[in-house]
Structure 1
Amino acid sequence: MGQNTSHNAGQNPGQNPGQDSAKTAGNRSRRHDIVAFGIAAAAIIQFVGIAGTLMPQVLRSWLTGSAPPDPLLVNALLLNIALVLLGWRRYSEMQREVAIRRQTEEEARLLASTDPLTKCLNRLSSTAAIQALLETGQQVKRNVAVFLIDLDNFKQINDLNSHQTGDLVLTVVADRLRLHFPAGSVIARVGGDEFVCAMIVDPALHGDLDHFAALLIEQVGQPVADGRVMILPRISAGYALSEPHTADSAPTDAATLVHRADIAMYHAKKSGRNRHVAFQPLLEDDLRLKRNLEAAIRDGIAKGEFAPFYEQQVDLQTGKLVGFEMLARWHSPHYGLVSPEVFIPIAEEMDLISELSENLIRQALADAREWDPSLTLSVNISPVQFRDAWFAQKLLQLLVEAGFPPSRLEIEITESTLHENVGAVRNAVTSLKNQGVRVCLDDFGTGYSSLSQLRSLPFDRIKIDRSFVSEIGQDSKCGDLVAAIVSLGRGLDLPVTAEGIESSQVRDALRDLGGMKGQGYLFGMPEDASTTRARLAAMKLLAGSGSRQEMDEPAAEIVALPGRQAS
């Protein structure tokens, strides 16, 4: 397995057992060092004293032939010489041990503060390094710019190639960051594919930071070759600039700057990736709102705050009601009635869309079971749900639990779904169609569907996007495009539904193009379950209420019941 995971993220800078044990060992070594030096010094002093007495005796014995020196003094001198040599040797060994230990401690310090793969600083040491850079910047009257850099789709590089390739990309990116940032900058790897960089900036050059960031993205994005494939790394970058220190405000600290750069980087990702964003206070407000919405969505799912609303679908030729499309609505006690355009993308990002959708479909099937058997139910399926290999089985299980005929259910999938994993989509669609569920290609014309996909995937219907429908009568090109889609559907034997009908003019223009279904606010706003049931009861279109009521008036003239809900 490769090393491209975060390092030392869970350590507390104030608690380093390795450094504590090294310090204890160093203190013990110094104590032994003093003892060895003391023994050697005492032996030398004693040697000098004995030699001062013995050497005159030795000289007299050599020169005059008198009696030899005292044997006890000779033995004592030899013993002192041995002690001096032993003490000096031990002292030298201790000095070598201290040098080796210091080198080991330095290596341990580097390992504790450095990412072993990229040789950059790691998360543990980056904050202190940026703080030191901020202090230096204050001394020289300069600001500090902090960049938070994240590789786009790095997981795919690992999954499609190997962790070794991912490691190579991380190493090359780190080298390119070192080349791009000036000397003295902080370069740290703080996550699996995240880097934080900081540099001192001249206040007169603040306007050049955008250009600097654009060049950074260009330089890092150069190809990386691993011998087998060519990888094009892409990054999203956010940066924040320290604020000038005044008497009324405290200097910006490192943690705050990194947090702001992270917020800016998140918005760069949200804006399409492979770009940079400068921090602004408004971005922090947006992120705080998103975090609050995330918590509220998670809590709302558990409390059942999400409910299905139903939008009428009519036969444009006869004006008869033929079914409903289920639309998700969120009754939030804090935010009120929230549109799906707000909470659906967040639920998808949180990986909660499957749970949310299944709850809504379960409730919608129970509601629709009371409708006249001729009425259909249409539900939208998120592209995220098709990533689940068991999606088709889960949906069929919901049908079985509700006792709802599969032939009355139509699922709508967008064109973008086809481009995530067309094989998985084909398998799921085939399984559902084999059980009688119908499949509609939603928002046709806004994506990249080809005729080959329309032929190869077993669709039962195509739905024209509201952006084309609403412009009929105002833009001749939109009218021609809608006519072409209807003609295409007729040629492929695919019925057509038009959404976004809000005026009788648009309805009449669509009616002239031939038989199709339509939906839109012209026929009534989306309504909750109880209002929809009351409407159907008045029209005698509930199960067991008798034969279907024939409607001579076009559906546009249907008067909505009191209590109609706004979308």
Structure 2
Amino acid sequence: MGPQTGGHQIDRTAEQSSASRDLLTLGTVFAALMLFISTGGTVLSRTIASITGHGLGPDNLPATALLLNIALIVFGWRRYRDLMSEVRERRGSEAQARLLAETDPLTGCLNRRSIGPATDQLIAEAATRGEVVAFLMLDLDNFKQVNDVHGHAAGDRLLNESARRIAAALPGDALLARIGGDEFACVLPFAPARPDVVDRLAEQLIAAVAEPVTFDDLSLETTISAGVTRSDANGGKQSAQTLMHMADIAMYHAKKHGRNRHFWFEPAMESELRFRSELETGIRRGLHHDEFVPYYEKQIDLATGELVGFEMLARWHSPTLGTVNPDLFIPIAEEIGVIAQLSEGLIRKALIDARAWAPRLTLSVNISPVQLRDPWFAQKILKILVEANFPPSRFEIEVTESCLHENIGLVRSLITSLKNQGIRVSLDDFGTGYSSLSQLRSLPFDRIKIDRSFVTSLPGNKESATIVQSIAALGEGLGLPITVEGVENEAVLRELEQFGKFKVQGYLYGHPEPGDRTAAELGQLNLLLEPQVPTTSVVSGKRKAAG
């Protein structure tokens, strides 16, 4: 408010100064005209009489005064025209400055500063017609990935086209603003009893933005998550700032529940968002205080019944929440940009633990799709292995099928780099629908891992049995060994034994344990190279809760 108020004061002062100059100039011209009228008649008549030879010429003093009057009139008029030109230029500059201050230079929409007052005015106008106002907050999903992979020019193209499509779908009396980097706000009046009108509009906007955008030879795709609220929410008249806050909360709720959809604001969402904020703060603090530890889940050779290795799973030992499973904190760590730091720290701890195990035991680590966007990922993993003096042949990276849907070229390069260093790479959660057979054949995977959702439902489920049997046959045909996760009871195990020889893991063989307990059990099995050393534990950005 300070800068705005000061700016208006300067404008008013400039206008007052200009008006004073205008009045002074006009006053001078007027006085000169009056003097010209009072003296001009006499001087001119005597001048004419003198020229025609019928009288004496004018006196010197009145003649001089007349000439000065004429000069003042000419000067004053030219000065007045100059001042008017200055006023027009200044008003044009002020209008341009207001336009720049109130609109987004990239898309031409209103900006965050101007949407608030415009919304408040629209609410007041709608109230006179018995209407209320809907506030929609729209956020482009995965926009940062478009910028990172294809560059800012592609991102700008996507923003401009999205803004154009949104504007085209809005009614004529609606407002559209770009709130932030990839956030837009729409405001429109509607009849209080017809929220379905807003629902239909939200669906139209989602469908419109989801259409591919062409940029050079690229086809850019994005979706939007939308949060919606209304000016009479919670039983009272809400201000623009309050509406923006509520719509933002509802938009985040839409992102959390799958994206590419919309939700109306509900008060419970605010509590959920507050908890989310506390989790973000806790995760950052936990990284600083070393609260994330690796746990280990056994992997068994189904044919021999022998322990062949472990998968590392992440746990958060929070001082306020207790032991937290990764399905809660890993997605948040990905969104706030700390997943690489978290995962790499856990891998370092896990390698220290695994270095004491028998050399035949392997360590597998699940990697977040976010980490595979880093072209230096393979080099970072190799550096961690060298620092820990851990053999690459005992280390296995697990990547999910969703990674193949993002940037297949970069993923292929990273997988090749990892394998060139002797690290094995497996395709995790196979069967969830992202990869194709051609991708599976073209990428140099060492192993397929069947998603637990097909395994836990095996007993009595013919569809799941068919899927597992088909994947087993596919693995055999491609020469890829298979790991099956989610083996939780004997009934599932008996089903699996019909389909082939697998490496299996699950609660049937024990829940994931921290490093010290794992080492103690390995010591009883004579599978330690040295006495147990207390360590901490776990891993990866694996999005599954084990135990």
TM-score by length of 2: 0.85
Correspondence for 1:87:
76
Which segment is superposed worse, 507-516 or 118-127? 507-516
Correspondence 1:485 to 2:485: no
CA separation of 1:505/1:216 partners in 2, compared to 1, >3 Å: closer, same or farther? closer
Correspondence 1:97 to 2:86: yes
Correspondence 1:47 to 2:31: no
Distance 2:414 2:212 in 1: 37
Correspondence for 2:319:
333
Shift, 1:333, TM fit:
0.9
Correspondence for 1:418:
404
Distance 1:308 1:540 in 2: 22
Provide, for residues 369-399 of structure 1, a one-character-per-residue CA deviation record: whole Å limited to 9, x for no partner.
2223332222222222222223222222222
**Equivalent residues of 1:305, 1:332 under 8 A apart:** yes
Q: Look up the SS of the partner of 1:370 in the other structure.
A: coil
**Equivalent residues of 1:22, 1:105 under 8 A apart:** no
Which segment is superposed worse, 60-69 or 409-418? 60-69
Q: Look up the SS of the partner of 2:370 in the other structure.
A: helix
**Equivalent residues of 2:190, 2:197 under 8 A apart:** no
**Equivalent residues of 1:145, 1:200 under 8 A apart:** yes
CA separation of 1:366/1:220 partners in 2, compared to 1, >3 Å: closer, same or farther? closer
Distance 2:64 2:177 in 1: 65
Correspondence for 1:374:
360
Q: Look up the SS of the partner of 1:463 in the other structure.
A: strand
Shift, 1:298, TM fit:
1.4
For 1:80, give the aligned amino acid.
N
Correspondence for 1:182:
171
Q: Give 1:223-372 correspondences, 5 Å limit.
A: 234-243=223-232, 251-372=237-358
Q: Look up the SS of the partner of 1:378 in the other structure.
A: strand
Correspondence for 1:552:
none
Provide, for residues 305-328 of structure 1, a one-character-per-residue CA deviation record: whole Å limited to 9, x for no partner.
011111222233443323222111
Q: Which residue of the other structure, out of 472, 481, 505, is the alignment partner of 1:495?
A: 481
For 1:352, give the aligned amino acid.
V
Correspondence 1:401 to 2:391: no
Correspondence for 1:122:
111
For 2:280, give the aligned amino acid.
E
CA separation of 1:351/1:72 partners in 2, compared to 1, >3 Å: closer, same or farther? closer
Provide, for residues 259-282 of structure 1, a one-character-per-residue CA deviation record: whole Å limited to 9, x for no partner.
222233333344444433322223
Correspondence for 2:201:
212
Distance 2:142 2:262 in 1: 16
Shift, 1:196, TM fit:
1.8
For 1:265, give the aligned amino acid.
M
Query: What are structure 2's unaligned runs of at least 5 residues?
Result: 532-544
Shift, 1:190, TM fit:
2.8
Which segment is superposed worse, 167-176 or 336-345? 167-176
Distance 1:62 1:468 in 2: 119
Q: Look up the SS of the partner of 1:14 in the other structure.
A: helix
Distance 1:540 1:117 in 2: 66
Distance 2:524 2:311 in 1: 20
CA separation of 1:176/1:487 partners in 2, compared to 1, >3 Å: closer, same or farther? closer
Q: Which residue of the other structure, out of 451, 465, 474, is the alignment partner of 1:465?
A: 451
Number of aligned positions between the proteins: 534
**Equivalent residues of 2:487, 2:505 under 8 A apart:** yes
Distance 1:278 1:204 in 2: 15
Q: Look up the SS of the partner of 1:93 in the other structure.
A: helix
**Equivalent residues of 1:147, 1:196 under 8 A apart:** yes
Q: Which residue of the other structure, out of 175, 183, 188, is the alignment partner of 1:194?
A: 183
For 2:82, give the aligned amino acid.
E
CA separation of 1:37/1:320 partners in 2, compared to 1, >3 Å: closer, same or farther? same
**Equivalent residues of 1:372, 1:544 under 8 A apart:** no
Distance 1:49 1:452 in 2: 102
For 2:124, give the aligned amino acid.
E
For 2:195, give the aligned amino acid.
H
CA separation of 1:515/1:135 partners in 2, compared to 1, >3 Å: closer, same or farther? same
Shift, 1:105, TM fit:
2.1
Distance 2:502 2:546 in 1: 26
CA separation of 1:68/1:326 partners in 2, compared to 1, >3 Å: closer, same or farther? closer
Correspondence for 1:5:
none
CA separation of 1:48/1:239 partners in 2, compared to 1, >3 Å: closer, same or farther? same
For 1:381, give the aligned amino acid.
I
CA separation of 1:527/1:136 partners in 2, compared to 1, >3 Å: closer, same or farther? same
CA separation of 1:354/1:110 partners in 2, compared to 1, >3 Å: closer, same or farther? closer
For 2:70, give the aligned amino acid.
I
Correspondence for 1:554:
none
Distance 2:221 2:397 in 1: 37
CA separation of 1:38/1:290 partners in 2, compared to 1, >3 Å: closer, same or farther? same
**Equivalent residues of 1:19, 1:105 under 8 A apart:** no
Distance 2:307 2:155 in 1: 56
Distance 2:228 2:454 in 1: 40
